[in-house]
Chains A and B, each alone.
Chain A
């Protein structure tokens, strides 16, 4: 094995491998980012009775389909982790690619959904509700895309049997992105 591994990725004074601790720290920060955004949305939604009508134009079936896709991709991510835990890098890489396919499907559904909405005049500047809608779902979609890119890099390494612990790290991030969507879904699609 490589002798040039950075110390920071191997030492562990905290009882948790440092790389994993870093991912938890990222997620802690993300909770504040998404939490602040969602909290702002909730207080504005309560303060603006007219938003109920705007919200009624979101399509529950697109949102529901995307929830299904993300939940399923999370299952693939944890199965990749399971394979990596058992030393099977090739299998882990395959599951990671499946997870990535889920992310791509999610982004594609979003693209179709947004195209329809924008063509109906529901743009980001239409009113406060649509501003929040595109900002929240947009930042979330960027996280999905970023996760996919990282996952492809890790899948490539895992295929060669290298850095298998990273499979779990990207998995933890992916599940968090899934959880954010679990809350965005009722906020934007269900509570009408």
Chain B
């Protein structure tokens, strides 16, 4: 009732509302990939929907928590810049290392161990699936 001299109007109802939205998003992120195979529209393949549901929603959820619960929306701007800088470090790390990890062959190099492990594992999975489903070849990819 008695409104204090607050510079923002984040009442308890507001927090509960944000929480409810987060729960709805959680349900969508679980159901999305289950429904994904049935909603191939145009160029949107099933795996694209899964990625969209999984990570698109995660980004929205993280934003809602950061802005409303951590109050980044009313915090000094330089805090957001600092956190964004740290995220940039993560992207920099990814950009520098990922090309070598995601591929196993380059112009002058070959990651023999990784290739051998992939081949071995896929073969083992294929045989396991073969045994379970009686003839179906179900190696994951």
Interface residues of A (CB under 8 A from B): 14-16, 24-25, 27-29, 31-32, 35-36, 38-40, 42-44, 46-50, 52-53, 56, 60, 64, 67-68, 71-72, 74-75, 77-79, 82, 85-86, 127, 171-172, 175-176, 178-179, 182-183, 185-187, 190-192
Which 10 A-B residue pairings sit nearest by Cβ, starting from the closest?
Answer: A35-B90, A186-B54, A50-B121, A53-B140, A31-B86, A52-B140, A43-B98, A190-B54, A75-B19, A47-B102
Our count of residue pairs bridging A and B at CB distance below 8 angstroms stands at 149
Q: 21 A-B residue contacts at CB 8 Å?
A: A24-B79, A31-B83, A31-B86, A39-B97, A47-B101, A47-B104, A49-B140, A50-B121, A50-B125, A64-B30, A68-B26, A71-B26, A75-B15, A82-B10, A175-B69, A175-B70, A178-B69, A190-B32, A190-B33, A191-B54, A192-B50
Q: Which residue of A lies closest to B98 (CB)?
A: A43
With both chains docked as a complex, state the minimum distance between the C-beta of A188 and any C-beta of chain B, in angstroms. Answer: 10
Residues of B within 8 A of A24 (CB): 79, 82-83
The size of the chain B interface, using a CB distance under 8 A, is: 58
Please state if A79 and B125 are interface contacts (CB–CB under 8 Å).
no
Dominant SS at the B interface? helix
Please state if A71 and B22 are interface contacts (CB–CB under 8 Å).
yes
With both chains docked as a complex, state the minimum distance between the C-beta of B58 and any C-beta of chain A, in angstroms. Answer: 5
- CA of A47 to CA of B58 in the docked complex: distance in angstroms? 22
Chain A CB count within 10 A is highest, among B32, B69, B91, for B69
Please state if A39 and B141 are interface contacts (CB–CB under 8 Å).
no
Please state if A190 and B29 are interface contacts (CB–CB under 8 Å).
yes
Residues of B within 8 A of A74 (CB): 19, 65, 69
With both chains docked as a complex, state the minimum distance between the C-beta of B5 and any C-beta of chain A, in angstroms. Answer: 11
Residues of A within 8 A of B26 (CB): 64, 67-68, 71
Please state if A186 and B83 are interface contacts (CB–CB under 8 Å).
no
Please state if B65 and A182 are interface contacts (CB–CB under 8 Å).
yes
On whether A182 and B62 interact (CB within 8 A), knowing A27-B83, A60-B30, A78-B69, the answer reads yes
- CA of A182 to CA of B61 in the docked complex: distance in angstroms? 7
Residues of B within 8 A of A185 (CB): 29, 58
Residues of B within 8 A of A190 (CB): 29-30, 32-33, 50, 53-54
On whether A16 and B76 interact (CB within 8 A), knowing A28-B86, A47-B104, A191-B50, the answer reads yes
